[in-house]
Amino acid sequence: MGSPRLVKAPAGTTRLILLLLAGALVLRLGVIAVAAVAAPDDISNDVKHHALLVDDPAGHLTDSPAIVEQYPPYLGFAEWITVKPWLALGASEETSLRLGSSIWDLAGMAVLLLVVAGRRPTDILIVGAVWGAALLFWPTSALLGQDETIDACFVAVAVLLAARHRLAAACTVLVLGLFVAKVFLLAVLAAYLLTAPASERRRVWTVSAVLFAAFVGLTWLFSGTDGVSQQLRYEIPYPAFTMSPWSMLLLHHDVSGPTAHDWSIVLASAAVLAVLALWWRHRSDGADGAPRLAAAMLLAVVAFLAVSNPEYLCIAAPLALLAALLSDDIPVVWALVITSGLAWSVNGVYRLLKTTARDRGYELGLRGFQGDITGRLALLDVLHRGLVIALWVALLVTAYRLATRPGARAPVG
């Protein structure tokens, strides 16, 4: 199969992209304004950690275990660029993190819209509406101020470079992302390496390996760690909140925290292998199979990890959106919208569970359920179980559809 050609976008495309970005910006600024007044200071438990990263990016690089071991070594520098100016202007830490995360959020949206403008210009409105307004992105950026939007931006840039036949540059961005964003980008890098055309395969693999070794060496020089393996070792004593079924098992003391952590890695690894096997049997779309393979692997991992949050959908969403449009598979777009709604519903019900448990004198997030589960607590528990199972099924069904539906269409003018 030859390389897909880029088509000239129709007149008015630039104006439409700008309008979509403006609408997304207005929504985020509105959420940030409301959150600054109405949201509690502890709506995100990670605020203090991100604030430390911004305050001293080099400190995390040179002594990463002193802050939070899970964060990549250079994340603080990426957040400093977009957060520090707002702090200097007098904004609070929470507001500054939200504004900074929203900048990365909108930057990623703009980049993916450029990709769609070149490959599927008639679908720009779909991508703009889903990225701009659905629950996939703005709760992560404008409400919680999390760093997953940085991951999404790295993924979008890599997708743009690959679409413009600069695969080595795309892989370079993804290798850098392993040290700046999250280790989840390893799945995206693997997808592009596995689908590299034969004429480019040796060069792309060599460039990726050399750059990875260079970043490991540089990071080891400053920190004494490789910058990647410590992200894989991330574990919390009692991961009561996760949007995977492990949450139900942990809250009801059916498994211990360490058991959930260890077995979730085994199951997530098995899920990745299953996705690879399914994709291998349906790989006729060549290089265009990279987005769907990467998205399927990421969704499968998110479904099985012991610590899995709604924000992680930001990393898979750009890839899944593009893969769905390239294969005219609009149900996947709707699946992403529904999945994000279920994920944040699980998050909301879990918060209500914690509040109700606290009224009864115990901390659900640290000890799980204690005593009789009756009344409002029992109803919330049933609702939580139902939403978790529905979300888990939605994630796996979407991953399966992405892995088994090849056939990128020709660009539409």
Give residue-wise pLDDT tens across range 307-324: 899 999 999 999 999 999
- Is residue 390 domain-shared with residue 289, that is, in the same domain? yes
Number of domains forming the structure of the chain: 2
- Is residue 257 domain-shared with residue 389, that is, in the same domain? yes
Question: 300, 291, 333: which is closest to 399 by C-alpha?
Answer: 300
* Residue 380 in this model has a pLDDT that exceeds 50: yes
**3-state SS record for the chain:** CCCCCCCCCCCCHHHHHHHHHHHHHHHHHHHHHHHHHHCCCCCCCCHHHHHHHHHCHHHHHHCHHHCCCCCCCCHHHHHHHHHHHHHHCCCCHHHHHHHHHHHHHHHHHHHHHHHHHHHCHHHHHHHHHHHHHCCCCHHHHHHCCCCHHHHHHHHHHHHHHHHCCCHHHHHHHHHHHHHHCCCCHHHHHHHHHHCCCHHHHHHHHHHHHHHHHHHHHHHHHHHCCCCCHHHHCCCCCCCCCCCCCHHHHHHCCCCCHHHHHHHHHHHHHHHHHHHHHHHHHCCCCHHHHHHHHHHHHHHHHHHHCCCCCHHHHHHHHHHHHHHHHHCCCHHHHHHHHHHHHHHHHHHHHHHHHHHHHHHCCCCHHHHCCCCCCCHHHHHHHHHHHHHHHHHHHHHHHHHHHHHHCCCCCCCCC
The backbone torsions φ and ψ at residue 310, rounded to the nearest 5 degrees and listed phi first, read: -60, -30
- Is residue 379 domain-shared with residue 243, that is, in the same domain? yes
In a domain, 199, yes or no: no
Which band of pLDDT confidence, cut at 50, 70 and 90, is reported for residue 409?
A: low
In a domain, 178, yes or no: no
In a domain, 176, yes or no: no
Q: Is the dihedral of CA 135, 137, 140, 143 positive or negative?
A: negative
Note the pLDDT of residue 115. 95
CB 365 within 8 A of CB 236: no
Note the pLDDT of residue 236. 67
In a domain, 182, yes or no: no
In a domain, 81, yes or no: yes
Give me 313's structure tokens. Answer: 């959908």
In a domain, 95, yes or no: yes
CB 376 within 8 A of CB 293: no
Query: Using one digit for the tens of pLDDT, what is the confidence trace for 215-266?
Result: 999 999 988 888 888 777 766 666 678 899 999 998 988 888 888 888 999 9
Give me 67's structure tokens. Answer: 């802050």
* Residue 65 in this model has a pLDDT that exceeds 50: no
- Is residue 156 domain-shared with residue 242, that is, in the same domain? no
**Domain termination site, one of 164, 196, 214:** 164
- Is residue 242 domain-shared with residue 369, that is, in the same domain? yes
**Cβ neighbours of residue 298 closer than 8 Å, sequence gap 6 or more:** 184, 187, 188, 312, 315, 316, 319
- Is residue 243 domain-shared with residue 155, that is, in the same domain? no
In a domain, 353, yes or no: yes
**Domain termination site, one of 164, 185, 219:** 164
- Is residue 396 domain-shared with residue 290, that is, in the same domain? yes
**Cβ neighbours of residue 319 closer than 8 Å, sequence gap 6 or more:** 155, 159, 188, 291, 292, 294, 295, 298
- Is residue 16 domain-shared with residue 145, that is, in the same domain? yes
Phi-psi region of 407 (alpha: psi -120 to 50; beta: other; left: phi over 0): left
- Is residue 153 domain-shared with residue 240, that is, in the same domain? no
Number of C-beta neighbours around residue 351 at 10 A: 14
Query: Using one digit for the tens of pLDDT, what is the confidence trace for 103-158?
Result: 999 999 999 999 999 888 889 999 999 999 999 999 999 999 999 999 999 999 99
- Is residue 138 domain-shared with residue 241, that is, in the same domain? no
Residues 275 and 281: their CA atoms lie apart, in Å, by 10
User: Residue 342 is part of which domain span?
Assistant: 235-413
**Domain termination site, one of 164, 182, 203:** 164
Give me 139's structure tokens. Answer: 């709760």
What number is the average pLDDT over the span 183-202?
95
- Is residue 156 domain-shared with residue 264, that is, in the same domain? no
* Residue 412 in this model has a pLDDT that exceeds 50: no
What number is the average pLDDT over the span 329-349?
95
- Is residue 4 domain-shared with residue 142, that is, in the same domain? yes
In a domain, 151, yes or no: yes
Note the pLDDT of residue 41. 62
Residues 28 and 340: their CA atoms lie apart, in Å, by 17
